[in-house]
Amino acid sequence: MSRTRTAILASMAMVAGATGAAAAAAQADVGIAAIPCTVAYTVQNQWSTGFTAAVTVTNNSAAKSSWAVKWSYAGNQQVTSGWNAKITQSGTAVTAANETYNGTLATGGSVSFGFNGSYSGTNALPTTFTLDGVTCNVDGGTDPTNPPDPGTGTRVDNPYAGAKVYVNPEWSAKAAAETGGSRVSNQPTGVWLDRIAAINGVNGGMGLRAHLDAALQQKGTGELVVQLVIYNLPGRDCAALASNGELGPTEIDKYKTQYIDPIAAILADTKYAGLRIVTTVEIDSLPNLVTNTGSRVTATPACDVMKANGNYVKGVGYALNKLGDVPNVYNYVDAGHHGWIGWDDNFGASADLFKQAATAEGATVNDVHGFITNTANYSALKENNFTINDTVAGKSVRESKWVDWNRYTDELSFAQAFRNQLVTVGFPSTIGMLIDTSRNGWGGPARPTGPGATTTVDTYVDGGRYDRRFQTGNWCNQSGAGLGERPKAAPATGIDAYVWMKPPGESDGSSSAIPNDEGKGFDRMCDPTYTGNPRNNNNMSGALPNAPVSGHWFSAQFQQLMANAYPAL
């Protein structure tokens, strides 16, 4: 790897010997002070027609409230998309100006941005950079034949153990603005990268680098986990229109080069090597291929398409491979929830499919650190008032309408059992599970204090269950839900952490059709008047009214979640 100017100066000081050490050090300090700015330009990934580059600018002159970096290419390189800067190009000349959130550049401060570009022939590194018209020193810089060191961090068994977890300042501000929201606004939540634009930041919001930079500030001298949701597969969420994505069913190449590759390049920046980065890989994707395809009554044509073209499996495998190459990244694959995968005919088949995806596109099972269940869902963590082994009025609990022959009654028992199944099919015995407890508390005055009446198996189960949904297939803005267990590390055997991967207060989908530019449709499961379909046994949807598009702030839901929190706030 190329030596930086700082390293060269340091070596000069060492060569000077004891008698000249002070003089050499003084010369080095003068040299550094004389440089108004330095720029490190790194090509982090390159393929036959394109590349991903990262740029870090250090300002050694007066503090700035805005900035612009300029350079020119010797070849025909063309910037196609960028993040953490507004990048424009005219001919060979490129200008990268600050975003609204990163214009401040203190004396001695640095700012980083990145971009994807296209090229043909050679991809020569630019040699001259200016910061606000002043020429900068080129500090290092690497090319694809001499790639950057991705860091020397060694993964730990449980990334959450002994670590703080990143508090997303954008979510925290929304929560704190709500009446009573300051009680939870300091809780860590996931950062959702649900479209290509989210890498750079949407509508002036924080992009991935901005979040990672903020995480470094929160980290201090201890360990810190950053939680990212990787969520943009081609044909995303084939059975749920509310969370459809921007990429069509066949756009797997775009997913790889414009979504996963830029994310992987940013995460590989050595600046972030000290963070523990947890990725939740593609929620609600692989389980759909098990339960919503073929001759099943729950099948949808869109899921049949995704099973046939293999792009869910390819996409997940590619993400695991590329992200898993970064030493401080911990990949957790989404594993649905007990009310989806807990039935006998889904349980083993899902584990087998996850193994297929984890060995696709160059990935191996060692690229998987664990799995996450109940992401953005509502399944109760632990049902204490009945068990799967209970019998009432001559009938097993499994025969109740609520359990419906499922082998699990809650998320904790399912997650622990599914972990064992995953190890059985070939995943490492060291894998751990995460459980999203952001909205599965089901507290408040309606929370049962004991079992239901033993008149029938249904009165027994319905009278005692904490989860008050009409059916476990209901997933959209559920009425009566509450905040669940606060995030914590190693809470139970085989569980790495309880997490709030879904930020409480962000909608699951709109209650009626709302035009948007995010690729998100209207799903009747988010309509409070909807009477259901085979996937929820034709029950009412149980959704709250007046909900916005998925991912947008839903104040009424947030207030309900706080009111029904368990443990109570």
Treating both helix axes as pointing N-terminal to C-terminal, what angle do 344-358 and 311-324 enclose, rounded to 10 degrees?
50
Please list the helix, strand and coil fractions of the chain in percent, rounded to the nearest 5, in that order: 30, 20, 50
**Per-residue pLDDT, 34:** 60
Active-site annotation holds for 284: yes
CA-nearest of 566, 558, 410, 414 to 484 is 566
Q: Is the peptide bond before 169 cis (omega within 30 degrees of 0)?
A: no
Cα separation of 555 and 477, whole Å? 12
**Per-residue pLDDT, 144:** 47
Inter-residue contact 373 to 335 (CB < 8 Å): yes
pTM above 0.85, yes or no: no
**Cβ neighbours around 91 below 10 Å, total:** 9
**Per-residue pLDDT, 33:** 41
Task: Scan for tokens 């609520």, then name that residue.
Answer: 402
**Per-residue pLDDT, 378:** 98
Which of 269, 390, 436, 508 is flagged as catalytic?
508
**Per-residue pLDDT, 329:** 98
**Per-residue pLDDT, 3:** 27
| SS3 state of residue 142 | strand
**Per-residue pLDDT, 10:** 31
**Per-residue pLDDT, 153:** 53
Q: What are phi and psi of 31, to 5 degrees?
A: -60, -45
- Per-residue buried b or exposed e for 451-462, using 16+ beta carbons within 10 Å of the residue's own CB: bbeeebbbbbbb
- 534-568 confidence digits (pLDDT tens): 888 999 999 999 999 999 999 999 999 999 999 99
Indicate the pLDDT class of residue 422, thresholds 50, 70 and 90.
Answer: very high
**Per-residue pLDDT, 473:** 92
Burial of 110 (0-12, 13-18, 19+ CB in 10 A): middle
Q: Give the whole-number percent of the chain exceeding pLDDT 90.
A: 74
Which of 213, 261, 269, 284 is flagged as catalytic?
284
Indicate the pLDDT class of residue 2, thresholds 50, 70 and 90.
Answer: very low
- Sequence-distant (6+) residues with CB within 8 A of 222 are 162, 163, 164
- Sequence-distant (6+) residues with CB within 8 A of 173 are 185
Indicate the pLDDT class of residue 14, thresholds 50, 70 and 90.
Answer: very low
**Per-residue pLDDT, 234:** 96
Cα separation of 567 and 488, whole Å? 13
CA-nearest of 66, 67, 13, 62 to 39 is 67
Indicate the pLDDT class of residue 467, thresholds 50, 70 and 90.
Answer: very high
- 261-273 confidence digits (pLDDT tens): 999 999 999 999 9
Indicate the pLDDT class of residue 282, thresholds 50, 70 and 90.
Answer: very high
CA-nearest of 132, 275, 182, 237 to 518 is 237
Indicate the pLDDT class of residue 16, thresholds 50, 70 and 90.
Answer: very low
Indicate the pLDDT class of residue 520, thresholds 50, 70 and 90.
Answer: confident
- Per-residue buried b or exposed e for 113-137, using 16+ beta carbons within 10 Å of the residue's own CB: bbbbbebeeebebbeebbbbeeebb
Q: What stretches of 456-537 show up as alpha helix (H) in DSSP?
A: 457-464
Cα separation of 131 and 105, whole Å? 11
Q: Is the pLDDT of residue 284 over 60?
A: yes
Cα separation of 327 and 25, whole Å? 35
Active-site annotation holds for 253: no
Residue 90: beta bridge partners?
93
Mean pLDDT, the chain, as a whole number? 89
**C-alpha torsion angle, residues 484, 488, 492, 495 (rounded to 10):** 100
H-helix or E-strand spanning residue 80: strand 78-83
Q: Is the pLDDT of residue 170 over 60?
A: yes
- 114-137 confidence digits (pLDDT tens): 888 899 888 888 989 999 999 998
